[in-house]
Chains A and B, each alone.
Chain A
């Protein structure tokens, strides 16, 4: 299934678009990414392991430094409990494929997705990072009173 940071859920993975994505592995040196990549409508960043946080920095580089405006997709090895972190780091969607569903059931993924997109507040907030679905960071909330 495909989970979206705006709260939407697609229960089956679309076949066509994901196959044509630009795939960047989480361990890629962001400096090696050329500006060509910015023209791609979807960029998929693959996480080699749930404990390997390099994909977050690659995402941030694309999204914030290079101002990539397309769809950022996370795939590979992840835990349901990391969904909120992925959305906060700027990913628009997360690919939950057969391999991930073998480790955690669809219910686990959907519950985690609901927790961070719909139930609030949950343990997903940070001070400096804007949360999912346009929610403000704690620092922004303080400024706006």
Chain B
């Protein structure tokens, strides 16, 4: 992973001092809450339903064991002994006291962590493929460009008071595990004919109340032009984005209202006209970043054959281990190594939550088995990216002892859920209890039916933080006459064949949701052909078939 130097550290330290000063002024009353709000939001501090919430950045979802240990320490010292990993590959603490938040930031800064730009109308923490750098299907490792974007956008005055928040996602692989088409800007990195890195830029994607699939803005942009071009995109958005209505303020609305061609022409004009001196030496900066991304030595690669035989016999002997390897272990670019995903979706659990003990265990396991590196996925799970074949069984046994060995990655019980009405001030309905009930119900079925290809995402309101639009089965919490109701959407996809789910029909009460979901799963299992995903079956057979099954039921 990328190693901060003393200039990075100085910047984080300075920011922490600035925030302490702001909190002191707020506590002394010289800053009103209204004035404090944009300042605290720049540092990830929200005011939720019951308390403040601090969102800590995990840049592009990569962290070290040392950092995870510190998150566990913070969870114990300042919170209630747990943290919540989010769809933006960050972590949230739900119960900090305002007066203690500067101390939390100080403690984070000791391990180069911070909460910079995890909220507010600025460029947010960049997200990427959780398998970046190790995925077998990757042509360009996106981490250096992610770090370049992080640096470029950090503390940048021009893009700190945008019309609305702004999210980047990057991938360099064939399979899109970063949902780039549902971000304000999605970058797809690839190799050119001469081996150089080229980037396609997608713009105007997003979820929320107006879901949009991003459109292709520019193809094959060279590395040295990437930042100047993105700078031009941001300037056009900053100048022309809607500032009167926050629901029309995202770049997707600007692109839709101008039309892609007009928007692209404005960007192109700005790109051509703008002074590029700020970006002199950007390729050297990128090379310097690349040189500071550590690569494990993979010394167990040599024993790959032997290790894979021994793994096969362990799998044959233990069906539970075999099931875990099938669902939670992925191909690695390095012979003899695998990527192991740790599910934070235990049956009946809260998606994305981890206790401090679990965090410490994962930190220790990463030290022992994964070069002390951990990733966070946008499905709210954790990843150990460099596990040797011969360590998989030992790793699994240790995870079993801590309730972290659920074999359900990418299965229906691997549910994304936003915090909903249990925490969020904007929520209309609860998400977490619905997720808990559905995971208990679906987990049993997963053992009997092969349910790969069906995802369930739950949002507690139309803001769609739980990504319901892009799930095979999306569940959206609404309030009807003071009662929580849930609308179901079908057929979403967040990969490169992106699609937005369609509303099935009238909503359901919380009690009715599990049965409705069961009927949807039944219908898919009956109607699917071969390895078809839920959304592919849905596209082929149509909504009516599913609606009849659900609404005709007694």
Bind each other? yes
Considering the complex, give the chain A residue whose CB is closest to the CB of B240. A29
Whether the pair B157, A30 counts as a contact (CB closer than 8 A) is no
Q: Mark B213-244, 1 if CB is under 8 A from A, else 0.
A: 00000000000000100000001001110010
Give the contacting residue for A139; candidates B19, B121, B285; CB below 8 A: B285
Q: Is the CB of A85 within 8 A of B157?
A: yes
B480 neighbours in A (Cβ, 8 Å) = none
**Are A29's CB and B239's CB within 8 A?**
yes
Residues of chain A in range 94-145 having any CB-CB distance to chain B below 8 Å: 103-105, 108, 115, 121-129, 137-139, 141-143
CA distance A65 to B235 in the complex (A): 12
> Given A51-B121, A51-B161, A60-B235, are A121 and B14 neighbors across the interface (CB < 8 Å)?
yes
B-side interface mostly? helix
Closest to A54 in B: B239
Q: Which of B17, B121, B288 contacts A122, CB < 8 Å?
A: B17
Q: Which of B11, B19, B238, B274 contacts A138 (CB 8 A)?
A: B11
B483 within 8 A of A: no
Whether B151 pairs with A89 at a CB distance below 8 angstroms is: no
Closest CB-CB distance, B7 to chain A, in whole Å?
5
Complexed CA–CA distance, A122 and B17 (Å): 7
Q: Which residue of B lies closest to A88 (CB)?
A: B157
Across the interface, A124 reaches (CB within 8 A) one of B155, B239, B277, namely B155
Is residue A79 contacting chain B, with contact meaning CB distance below 8 A? yes
Which chain A residue lies CB-closest to B157?
A85
B14's partner among A54, A105, A124 (CB-CB below 8 A) is A124
Q: 23 interchain pairs (CB within 8 A)?
A: A30-B239, A52-B161, A56-B158, A57-B158, A60-B158, A61-B235, A64-B274, A64-B278, A79-B35, A81-B22, A84-B157, A108-B30, A121-B13, A123-B15, A123-B18, A123-B19, A125-B11, A126-B156, A127-B151, A128-B227, A129-B155, A139-B151, A141-B7
Q: Which residues of B are interface residues toward A (Cβ below 8 A)?
A: 5, 7-8, 10-11, 13-19, 21-22, 25, 30, 35, 38-39, 121, 151-152, 154-162, 227, 235, 238-240, 243, 273-275, 277-279, 281-282, 284-285, 288
- A residues engaging B (CB < 8 A)? 29-30, 50-54, 56-58, 60-61, 64-65, 67, 79, 81, 84-86, 88-89, 103-105, 108, 115, 121-129, 137-139, 141-143
